[in-house]
Amino acid sequence: MKVLVAVKRVVDYNVKVRIKSDGSGVDIANVKMSMNPFDEIAVEEAVRLKEKGAVTEVIAVSLGVTQCQETLRTAMAIGADRAILVETTEELQPLAVAKLLKALVDKEQPGLVILGKQAIDDDCNQTGQMLAALADLPQATFASKVEIADGAATVTREVDGGLETLKVTLPAVVTTDLRLNEPRYVTLPNIMKAKKKTLEVLKPSDLGVDVTSRLKTLKVSEPPKRSAGIKVADVATLVSKLKTEAKVI
Amino acid sequence: MTTLVVAEHDNASIKGATLNTVTAAAQCGGEVHVLVAGSNAAGAAQAAAQIAGVTKVLHADGVQFAHGLAENVAAQVLAVASAYSHILFPATASGKNIAPRVAAKLDVAQVSDITKIDSPDTFERPIYAGNAIATVQSSDKVKVLTVRTTGFDPAAASGGSAAVESTTAAADNGKSSFVGAEIAKNDRPELTAAKIIVSGGRALGSSDKFNEVLTPLADKLGAALGASRAAVDAGYAPNDWQVGQTGKIVAPQLYIAAGISGAIQHLAGMKDSKVIVAINKDPEAPIFSVADYGLEADLFTAVPELVKAL
């Protein structure tokens, strides 16, 4: 069984982003970019399934600008066997990404597709579910445990009150939550090996997908600033401030 | 123009997040209808009919809806979707699971986690862990939205008198099934709805200390307990207590952060709280930059003192 893993190149999670002064977006020129943390977890899970023998091939997929090749090389250094880049300079929204992934699912026929639960830039949390809908596959979102047996995946999900376990028939779409696994560090020999692995480059038009944006971003602004707080000297002052000044207790 | 709210419920009653979503729905203009898809969920449908501002409740009953599986609930929403200009879900684990499935089948973009409605087609939503607010305009015929509950006041749970209409239940998709659930038992207020939250981080050091130090304070204040990712990953607190970009988004009246450094990802989940108190012994901790009241002290002495002083 093949596994398809979708990875996104995003602003590194440690970077404090700045808003462009004209309000047209976030300034991402010259900031550090990395693989979306949830996608690292997705690649790690796919590679672990391969190591357990449940999977034969791991294909990493990314969509976007040429530099996404670096993200795919990272995925291959973690252990993905080959990679596909759908290259475009257009802004891709989740619906377009889901349609492109659906075309790749039709082409590659994977038994499982693993995505991160959300990208830390747009914070959408949509693509996996949209892909499942378009490809008419069952979905198991926010996974913290995945077991494959007898043509089905048993997936434990993180839900609001605790955990929930579902069984979905394969092929299926799984999105990863933080606690699914701890991604391994890539080693230098594996980075060198990853350079020799196949990386296929396609265009959205090769897949026959229209990637036009449906949502127009009118402006991007700073969130309201909190007014500066004060430091209190001791617990007694804190309690009296909370009682008399803030009136919250 | 009519808006559909897809209710989150436990078959007997309506979950609080649905009430905030109804408020958002009313701001889209037009009538507000609520869909209750459940198993023996007449109680939840009745409760939905009482919500102020709701004019009609659609009730679909079937065992396939018992556990809110995305495939089946999405099919039910799609079965009634043609009558609506806006379809709203609360941005909870359940809403986030189902809404994109509905949007994709309708071939429309979805807008996640909206915090403000500027007009029926223009919405505000936080991006980059809440470090920027994007105003987006949708050109789609149907707007599928998930609503950040802390962005909207809850609608009154009583005072409404909507008609409950039964609707044909969509068939079971058959590709997924519910195996079981481990729902944490908790007598405390629900984290996302609590007025006061006491939250702990890595500095607590162990699960025992976490409970020993923070529980008395939470009890005293009638507060919910929260945690940072570090505390959850270390096993000091259960996963569903995590506050942050990838956990719960909260905005209580008072948020007490004890032993939490204040990483970007944690702040994303709590910086809309009315009053933030930070107790940390590191004067450089970023949490002090958002705290209204900062106490630079060892939490193991300061928190028990605080309990005594209350």
| pLDDT at A77 > cutoff 80 | yes
User: What is the length of chain A?
Assistant: 249
Least confident of A223-237, B257-271, B280-294: A223-237
Residues of B in contact with A116 (CB under 8 A): none
Phi then psi for residue A144, to 5 deg, are -115, -5
pLDDT tens for each residue of B56-89: 999 999 999 999 999 999 999 999 999 999 999 9
Residue B185 clears pLDDT 80, i.e. is over it: no
Residue A116 has pLDDT above 80, yes or no: yes
Under the banding of pLDDT at 50, 70 and 90, the label for residue A55 is very high
Closest CB to B245 among A26, A120, A140: A120
- Closest to A119 (Cα-Cα) out of A18, A41, A19: A41
For A129, the enclosing helix (H) or strand (E) is: helix A127-134
SS3 label, residue B103: helix
| Average pLDDT of the residues in B253-279 | 96
* Mean of pLDDT over chain B: 96
Work out the angle between the directed axes of helices B207-221 and B299-309 (0-180°, nearest 10).
20
Instruction: Give ∠ CA B64-B249-B90 in degrees, rounded to 5.
Output: 35
Asked whether residue A104 carries a pLDDT value surpassing 90, the answer given is yes
- Tell me if A221 and B277 make a contact (CB, 8 A cut-off): no
pLDDT of residue A246: 84
User: What is the average per-residue pLDDT within B193-216?
Assistant: 96
Give this prediction's pTM. Answer: 0.94
Cα-Cα-Cα-Cα torsion B96, B97, B98, B103, nearest 10 degrees, comes to: 70
Q: Is A220 close to B134, i.e. CB distance below 8 A?
A: yes
Tell me how far the alpha carbon of residue B131 is from its chain's centroid. 19
Shortest alpha-carbon distance between residue B70 and chain A (Å): 8
Q: Residue B171: list chain A partners with CB under 8 A.
A: none
Give pLDDT, residue B244.
96
Q: Apex CA A214: angle with CA A211 and CA A217, to 5°? A: 115
- Contact flag B178-A166 (C-beta cutoff 8 Å): yes
> Can you read off the two tokens belonging to residue B130?
């809440």
Tokens 């307990």 correspond to B225
Res. A65 pLDDT band, cuts 50 70 90:
very high
- Asked if A215 and B296 come within 8 Å (Cβ–Cβ), the reply is no
- Residue-wise pLDDT for A205-243, tens only, equals 999 999 999 999 999 999 988 888 999 999 999 999 999
Note whether A79 and A50 are within 8 A (CB).
yes
Q: Which pLDDT band, with edges at 50, 70 and 90, does A248 fall under?
A: confident
- Return the number of other C-beta atoms located less than 10 Å from residue B162's C-beta: 21
Nearest to A7 by CA among A54, A70, A88, A99: A70
